Amino acid sequence: MSTEPELPRAARIFVSFVALLRANGFAVAPEQTTAFLTAIELLGPRDLRDIRHAALATLAPPPERRASFDRLFDLHFRGSEALERADDGEDDETVRLQEEGRGDEEPLFSDDANESGLSATRTEALVERRFAQLSTTDALRRLSREAPRRLPRRRGHRRMRARRGPFADLRRTLRDSVRSDGEILRLGHMKRRHRPRKLLLLIDVSGSMKSRTEDNMKLAHALMQAAPNVEVFTFGTRLTRVTRALRLKRREQALSAAAHLVSDWDGGTRIGDALQAFLAVPRFGGYARGAAVVVVSDGLERGAPDALRDAVARLSRRAWRVSWLTPLAAGPGFRPQTEALIAIERFVDDLVDGGSSASIVAHVLALGRRRVA
């Protein structure tokens, strides 16, 4: 429209930066653009740092996308000199496990995880595994259908009106009593609302779980879509939060977004370190508090089981319930035989079959029935 006032020349570069951000998937509202321009005007600006601070403060990129924001900023305002910096994909949603501290005597490994643990047991279990009655598609359909009412719930702190309940609804009672000249004829009641419990899904994507990984990711996506309060992480040699990616409604889109985030598909396993890393990031560890934690992993730990045992013990103290779903438990009469599984057995509430989508779905849907807080 030609009636719009012309944008001042000086402002164009800032507005086009916002356009660049939007083109790269950042959500920027028009009011934020206005705030950005006003902020720049306010600050002077005297150098590029002022502009960067103004952009960060008003355009509010999510912390986990800060690296990508900075890159776009440099690209836009500093031009080609910024181009040389490569995208390492590192952000606060991914925790690199090989960085600091313990475990550095272990070389990083990739495809030899299958050699570890008791592979003989695993083979036997695979032979014995009975074919589940439901196909993956059927299982996922069942999950979407039943999850909303069958997932675990807990009592929340918000109150709602009720015919009967332990709390008096004074506001309503008083309103009613005004009509009857201050006589209280009927006492209103309130009760606490039930809320869906947090659900935390930790999916092993290492080489030894390769045959299950795709189905497990589909399952995670179905669960995310069906229930609120679900958090999903993958682990192998790294720990990656994929919740945000799986929030996308269309499955193909969500899975490819997740695939883009995770960089350790089909690699080695360091479950203990992965769980330690999970607990060490306060914001991640917080997801486990009071949650129903479901770990889908064969528990074939390459390293010493100490780290794994400590991590699972800590997890179980924090969580409402910890379920460990392993394909090794597919057969009847399963007894854990790997060192790692034996070490964690006493800290988990369930150590059950995770060998098919049907069995995982059945377990997840049964969680709500087991214990009511």
Partner 1 sequence: MAVRSNIVGIDSPEALERALRAAYYLADEGLATAAYLGLALGKPLLLEGAPGVGKTEAAKAIAAVLGRRLIRLQCYEGIDASAALYEWNYPRQMLAIRQAGDESIDIYGETFLIERPMLAALRAPDSTVLLIDEIDRADQEFEAFLLEFLSDFQISIPERGTVRAAERPVVVLTSNRTRDLHEALRRRCVYHWIDYPTEEREARIIMLRASSVAEATARAVVAAVGKLRREPLSKAPGIAEAVDWAEAATLLHKGGARWPDAFKRSIGVALKDEEDLHFISPRLDAMLAEATA
Question: Considering the rule CB under 8 A, would residue 191 count as an interface residue with partner 1?
Answer: no
- Which member of 21, 54, 140, 202 binds partner 1 (CB under 8 A)? 54
One-letter amino acid of 241: R
- Which member of 176, 310, 339, 345 binds partner 1 (CB under 8 A)? 310
DSSP label at residue 230: E
Question: Considering the rule CB under 8 A, would residue 373 count as an interface residue with partner 1?
Answer: no
Q: Could you tell me the smallest distance in angstroms from the CB atom of residue 37 to partner 1?
A: 9
Query: Is residue 202 within 8 Å of residue 185, measured between CB atoms?
Result: no
30 vs 332 by CB, closer to partner 1: 30
Q: Could you tell me the smallest distance in angstroms from the CB atom of residue 231 to partner 1?
A: 9
- Which member of 9, 149, 158, 164 binds partner 1 (CB under 8 A)? 158
Question: Considering the rule CB under 8 A, would residue 244 count as an interface residue with partner 1?
Answer: yes
Question: Considering the rule CB under 8 A, would residue 98 count as an interface residue with partner 1?
Answer: no
Question: Considering the rule CB under 8 A, would residue 58 count as an interface residue with partner 1?
Answer: yes
Residue by residue, DSSP assigns 41-101 as HHH---SHHHHHHHHHHHH---GGGHHHHHHHHHHHHHGGGGTTS------TTEEESSSSS
Q: Which stretch binds partner 1 (CB under 8 A): 17-25, 105-113, 272-280, 357-365?
A: 272-280
Sequence-separated (6 or more) residues with CB below 8 Å from residue 26:
59, 61, 65, 69
Question: Considering the rule CB under 8 A, would residue 276 count as an interface residue with partner 1?
Answer: yes
CA angle 18, 22, 27 (to 5 degrees): 100
Token reading at 258: 């997740």
Question: Considering the rule CB under 8 A, would residue 189 count as an interface residue with partner 1?
Answer: no
Q: Could you tell me the smallest distance in angstroms from the CB atom of residue 287 to partner 1?
A: 7
Query: Is residue 217 within 8 Å of residue 176, measured between CB atoms?
Result: no
Q: Could you tell me the smallest distance in angstroms from the CB atom of residue 340 to partner 1?
A: 18
DSSP label at residue 7: P
According to DSSP, the residues that pair with 203 across neighbouring strands are 234, 296
Question: Considering the rule CB under 8 A, would residue 50 count as an interface residue with partner 1?
Answer: yes
Q: Could you tell me the smallest distance in angstroms from the CB atom of residue 351 to partner 1?
A: 23
At what angle are helices 9-23 and 48-59 packed, to 10 degrees? 50
Question: Considering the rule CB under 8 A, would residue 19 count as an interface residue with partner 1?
Answer: no
Q: Give the position of tokens 């951000």.
A: 21
Q: How far is CA 240 from the centre of its chain?
A: 8
Binding-site ranges for partner 1 (CB under 8 A): 27, 29, 31-32, 34-35, 38-39, 42-43, 49-50, 53-54, 56-58, 60, 62-63, 66, 100-101, 156-158, 170-171, 173-174, 177-178, 181-182, 195, 244, 276-277, 279-280, 282-283, 285-287, 310, 314
